Structure 1
Amino acid sequence: MNILVVGANGAIGQAVVEAFCEQYSSSVVYAVSRSHYTGAKRKQVVPVQLDTVNETAITNWLSACKAKGTAFTHAVIATGVLHDDNVTPEKRLEDVSAEAMQHYFQVNTIGPSLWVKLLVGHLAQGGSTVSVLSARVGSISDNRLGGWYGYRASKAALNMFVKTASVEYARRAKHTSLICYHPGTVDSSLSKPFQRNVKPEKLFTPAYTAAQLLAVIDQANTSESPYFIDWAGKSIPW
């Protein structure tokens, strides 16, 4: 079994790599990241360094995999940004900027969407899954608090892309389930500035949310694809 984890250097990405290694001990896990992979060294992990939002780089790498007969049973796109040196979540309309919106969409929407696009011909025929990290705040119908314009919009756009792609996947990759996964609030650098209002029992370790993702993946059924689902296995309104 071949497994792909994109964004493997992030807290969730590293935990997902570890979880797959534990659950599928005979699998090969390709850990893709923009920088040198710093996760735990395991014989079954193949570190891959490439620009995860560069379509040409992704295409070339996937083509090389296909030439070797490598098809992926599970793919998890674990990239995303809430805040960094370039952006911080907006509290009001006046905080919105074109530059921040572009950054949010580049990381949260365009990159994962490219992987969903390009993976369609590289998935195992016997049943496979493609999961992207979404967020409950990306639900349009569940938005009652406002704020976080760029993050919300970029995740909502990702959800729409996956839901739209599922129509084509149903024809071209009938064996594949598409999953938009809300990991909850995870104790990571992404959520660090926003943890003080989170109840301790609702602040999850990366290992826990990775294990919950694998449980969702194990139960995925193509007849119910696409999923917008949380760490507890509960559906979220699109």
Structure 2
Amino acid sequence: MTFWQRLEQPAQALVYGATGGLGLALCEQLLARDDVARVWACARHAETHEALAALARRHGPRLCRLDLDPLAATDVAARLAAETPRLDLLLCASGLLQGERARAEKSLAQVDQAGLLESYLANAVLPLLLIRQLTPLLKGQHPCQIAALSARVGSIGDNHLGGWYGYRMAKAALNQGLRCASIELARLNPQSCVLALHPGTTDTALSRPFQARVPVDKLFTPAYAAERLLEVLAARTPAETGSFWDWQGHPVVW
């Protein structure tokens, strides 16, 4: 039985990173489903984002845009609780490979403390703070799927090339954080399932500087990556909470 089949009523879903290519595609595909009651599209600047505004015009009150920064002190659960008593689906689709100081380092000589910290905050700390802040709406007895975008390069067992120190380290930390959260949330909601998901190389701003050597058939559109991730997520059960999966539905070694 899939996640959608286990639901007793249409889902309340929240997508963080909704202004990015993959996050926007996830919002679009969730809104296309009759078994989704509402999508909360969240990002630091979600309320003024043009593509989200266009999506809101098509779907009316089923799409709620919300400016949210999980790294800032906030009580987002209280804000949502006025509208919904629960969340059935929480997706964190944000990530950072290169930023103000973060870089895709090729050697130890390029490793920089500020870059490592920037990557760690964006890729590991932010998703865990988001889950922590929304825990009041996740606990209970309802079917509940929680997923964050990880990356195969965060796998220690699969690392044969090295490099990309900050990004690899941050995604490995995210994986451990999700594993810990899965254990705690299983006690708070036995029907919860926490997942790390690898979307493959998707044609977004994050991967664009590194696409030259990616085979055409391995560079996915955001729509395709979103479709595959939702299929993988829907197939997972509470017995598989705390696990790591790729876009093909194959488990990824830690």
* TM-score, normalisation: structure 2: 0.88
Q: Does 1:72 align with 2:87?
A: yes
**1:9-24 to 2 correspondence within 5 Å?**
9-24=19-34
Q: Secondary structure at the match of 1:30?
A: strand
Show the counterpart of 2:65: 47
Show the counterpart of 2:131: 116
Q: Secondary structure at the match of 1:19?
A: helix
Unaligned runs of 5+ in 2: 1-10
Unaligned runs of 5+ in 1: none
Show the counterpart of 1:6: 16
2:49 to 37, 42, 53: 37
2:226 to 210, 220, 229: 210
CA distance in 2, matches of 1:223, 1:3: 21
Task: Using the TM superposition, name which of 60-69 and 198-207 deviates more.
Answer: 60-69
Task: Using the TM superposition, name which of 6-15 and 33-42 deviates more.
Answer: 33-42
CA distance in 1, matches of 2:110, 2:239: 42
Show the counterpart of 1:165: 181
1:147 to 163, 170, 175: 163
**Are 1:6 and 1:52, in contact at CA under 8 Å, matched by a contact in 2?**
no
Task: Using the TM superposition, name which of 220-229 and 79-88 deviates more.
Answer: 79-88
Q: String of CA shifts for 1:154-190, please: whole Å, max 9, x gaps.
A: 0000000111121212211211100100000000111
After TM superposition, give the deviation of residue 66 of structure 1 in Å.
2.0
How many residue pairs get aligned? The number is: 235
After TM superposition, give the deviation of residue 233 of structure 1 in Å.
0.5
CA RMSD of aligned residues (A): 1.4
CA distance in 2, matches of 1:127, 1:25: 13
Q: 1:50 to 1:26 in 2, by over 3 A?
A: closer
CA distance in 2, matches of 1:45, 1:69: 13
Q: Does 1:97 align with 2:107?
A: no
After TM superposition, give the deviation of residue 53 of structure 1 in Å.
2.0
After TM superposition, give the deviation of residue 103 of structure 1 in Å.
0.3
* TM-score, normalisation: structure 1: 0.94
CA distance in 1, matches of 2:17, 2:65: 11
CA distance in 2, matches of 1:164, 1:52: 19
CA distance in 1, matches of 2:196, 2:166: 18
**Are 1:37 and 1:47, in contact at CA under 8 Å, matched by a contact in 2?**
no
**Are 1:8 and 1:37, in contact at CA under 8 Å, matched by a contact in 2?**
no
